[in-house]
Structure 1
Amino acid sequence: MSREFLPGQVIVYPYLWAWQHERGETEGRKTRSTSVVVAVRGANDGLTHLALLAITTQPPEPDRIALEVSDIECRRAGLSDFKRCWIVVDEYNYDVAERSWYIEPDEPALGRFSKAFMMRIAAAFGQASRKSGRRVNRTE
């Protein structure tokens, strides 16, 4: 796979919510806009390890941690059709790009969040991961 993944990119991905995974589901119910929060090339395997965050148009439940995406960030990320949306930071899907069943190698990113907004996302993700972050492993 020659595709490069960068933090802040928004891609189409069949995100599997943690609650669905906990119920035994193995496939995301629909493809959705998803943001790459971490993209790391493995030192031992040379593969691209990804942490992917869901973007939703549904307001988050009170017990969830999510950031609302501003209008300008929606435009940058290719989400102009959304009136309002949030990026959920208290759970994520883990996948390996080169071995993924769900990532199309030639499909371009929808867009990309600004560096400033990505820094806010990364900080919120890091904090949420330490407290209650849930990882759904999509490589199994």
Structure 2
Amino acid sequence: MFPLTSQKPDQSRTHITISEIECRRGGLDFPSWLILDEYDRVRIDEAYDLVTTKPIGSFSPAFVRKIAGFIKEAAEQRRLRGVVRK
């Protein structure tokens, strides 16, 4: 799970701006950003902080490919880290 935020991230963070149309598709407030240099490592059955696992929306396939490219690049440059939250 990659963090979403409505606060503009610091430029030192690897992130992607979510366009207004993708925010609508994803059920998010605009503006929003997706942080791509860290992700939560959590088993879904242990994700007690989630209200529900039912999707509220989805991004377009083209945007998902763009996100995947950023994640791959961050991993190749060793700028990606998993965080275990308890």
Shorter-chain TM-score: what band? 0.7 to 0.9
Unmatched runs of 5 consecutive residues or more in structure 2: none
Which aligned pairs between 1:33-72 and structure 2 lie closer than 5 A? 52-72=1-21
1:130 aligns with 2:68: no
C-alpha RMSD of matched pairs (Å): 1.7
Please say which of residues 94-103 and 84-93 is displaced more in the overlay: 94-103
Which structure has the highest strand share of the two? 1
Greater RCO, 1 or 2 (C-alpha within 8 Å, sep 6+):
2
C-alpha separation in 2, matches of 1:63 and 1:136: 18
Paired position in structure 2 for 1:108: 54
Percent sequence identity over aligned pairs = 32
C-alpha separation in 1, matches of 2:46 and 2:15: 29
1:117 aligns with 2:63: yes
Structure 1 residue ranges (4+ consecutive) displaced by more than 3 angstroms after TM superposition: none
Unmatched runs of 5 consecutive residues or more in structure 1: 1-51
Give the drift of 1:137.
Answer: 1.6
Q: Which TM-score applies when normalising by structure 2?
A: 0.84
Which structure has the highest helix share of the two? 2
Q: Which amino acid aligns with 2:27?
A: G
Bigger radius of gyration, 1 or 2?
1
Paired position in structure 2 for 1:31: none
Task: Find the residue that maps to 2:3 and give its secondary structure.
Answer: strand
What count of residue pairs does the alignment treat as equivalent?
85
Which aligned pairs between 1:70-85 and structure 2 lie closer than 5 A? 70-79=19-28, 82-85=29-32
Q: Which TM-score applies when normalising by structure 1?
A: 0.54
Q: Which amino acid aligns with 1:67?
A: I
Paired position in structure 2 for 1:99: 46
